[in-house]
Amino acid sequence: MIGKLYYIILKFIRSSKIITLLIWGIKIDKFLHNTFWDLTTLVLKKELNDTRHKKKYLDMGCGQFALLGQFFKKANTVSDVTSVDIYEKFVENSLKNSELNKTNIQIKKSNLFSNIDEKFDLISFNPPYVPSSQKKDELEFPNIRYSDHKGLKTTHDFLTESKNYLMTDGEILLGINTFYVSQALCIKLISETGYKVEKITKMKFNTSIVFRLKSFRY
């Protein structure tokens, strides 16, 4: 009963324009689905609050509003911010939302790094991590939630490609909800793809965590 009530309250909070404005400082007009942000996005926001002096930031998988990209730009006005997503509809809506909030960030369509041709000193990603085996219904935008191979395929592909797009001493903020994928499995994948964990960020009453990563090559 308590779990169900928690889910109902959380669902309401994550689909509220007013609460999104209070938490993120971002106004919402049009939206494409009812979840504006999730628990992992909150932990990424916390870690971005502790991140300064980054000249070029890539917000990978920015979703329908590019919340992280806009939030970071508001706090770091001189930084060059790029937000990308695999879904054209998300890109179009994020562009309109950025115009509404006057954040002046670059937003474009890209399947991971397929449309990226520059390097960044900070990249964040809240990948799909729910195993495809748990898929219960058809979603219009399945890539925001589901991934193959125990929920880690997209994360594996991202980490494998990302080193080619990091500046020297660049960092990655990787957000994962450990309700679906264990911390141990994540750390194993991080090591296998040539990264080391510099820091792990958590929040109370939140099963999501953020890994701050650097490549072994540095």
Helix-, strand-, coil-residue percentages of the chain, each rounded to 5:
40, 25, 35
The domain ranges of the chain are 36-215
pLDDT (tens place) for every residue of the chain, 218 residues total:
545 666 677 777 889 999 999 999 999 999 999 899 999 999 999 999 999 889 999 999 999 999 999 999 999 999 999 999 999 999 999 999 999 999 999 999 999 999 999 999 999 999 999 888 777 777 788 888 888 878 899 999 999 999 999 999 899 999 999 999 999 999 999 999 999 999 999 999 899 999 999 987 65
Q: Which of 48, 47, 46, 24 is nearest to 36 (CA)?
A: 24
Provide the whole-model pTM.
0.94
Q: Which of 64, 66, 43, 68 is nearest to 178 (CA)?
A: 43
The CATH architecture annotation of domain 36-215 reads 3-Layer(aba) Sandwich (3.40)
Terminal-to-terminal C-alpha distance of the chain? 49
Length of the chain counted residue by residue: 218
Q: Which of 157, 149, 104 is nearest to 131 (CA)?
A: 149
How far, in Å, CA of 196 to CA of 174, rounded? 12
Q: Are 123 and 103 in contact (CB under 8 A)?
A: no
How far, in Å, CA of 56 to CA of 184, rounded? 30
State the Cα angle at 191 between 157 and 158, rounded to 5°: 15
